[in-house]
A = this chain, B = another copy of it.
Amino acid sequence: MPDNSPSPPNLPRLRGFIADFTRLVERHSGDEPTILDAGRALLADLIATDDWLPDAYAQPDPVHYRQYLLHCDPYERFSVVSFVWGPGQRTPIHDHTVWGLVGVLRGAERSQRYDLQEAGGPPVASPSELLEAGTVEAVSPRIGDVHAIANALPDRPSISIHVYGGNIGAVRRSVFDPLTGQRKLFISGYANTALPNLWDRSQPVPHAA
């Protein structure tokens, strides 16, 4: 995957974030409020500077939004995903079943939260929020887990970086029909079969094993 951008992506920034977040989930396993508080600060710091996401993980699809896995914890305790929305693209109404953090890296997104009705029927929308670049939002079954996200920009892609309390592409969760509230199970998977190699810190030098 050759990189033709004028300056190479600042991978040490993402590498540092992954080490910090690994430490966080290791130390505070099961303590969701602490993970969300401290994780929000880590993610805010990561998205404060837009110099590190390799171009390959910033490409929109013409039809659907895309989710590129950037890193998965070896125990699947958390995952880091780049979501890329083309103009006009949006998610269905969905849940996560694990905690999640959404940080806008580029552009702007519109977030709409929903309450499910006990008796069924359409999910009840809260007022929508505009998330500008630099904003971090949290979801979880404890604090509100059902939402939909849309690109707020009509003319260019928006990108957000999400962190979830599991391997989100493998989690069994649900989408909801906006008219009937009917639940449908889904497993999202990922758009990419290859992850960025964050670990090459060499200068060009002779080979050896």
Contacts and interface: CB of A to CB of B under 8 A. Distances in A.
Contact of A188 (B3, B170, B192, B202): B202
Interface stretch (A28-36, A38-46, A70-78, A120-128): A70-78
B208 A91 contact: yes
A58 interface: no
A67 interface: yes
Contact of A162 (B75, B167, B195, B209): B209
Given A65-B207, A149-B209, A190 B200 contact: yes
A173 B22 CA distance: 28
Copy count, this protein chain:
2
Contacts of A1: 193-194
A199 B94 contact: no
A175 interface: yes
A22 B169 contact: no
A200 B170 contact: yes
A200 B69 contact: yes
Given A194-B196, A195-B194, A201-B170, A65 B187 contact: no
A64 interface: yes
Contacts of A203: 187, 189
A83 interface: yes
Interface in A43-75: 56, 64-65, 67, 69, 71-75
B199 A186 contact: no
Contacts of A202: 169-170, 187-190
A120 B143 CA distance: 67
A175 B19 contact: no
Nearest to A208: B94
Contacts of A158: none
B187 A67 contact: no
- A-B pairs, top 4 by smallest CB distance, nearest first, are A189-B202, A194-B194, A94-B208, A170-B201
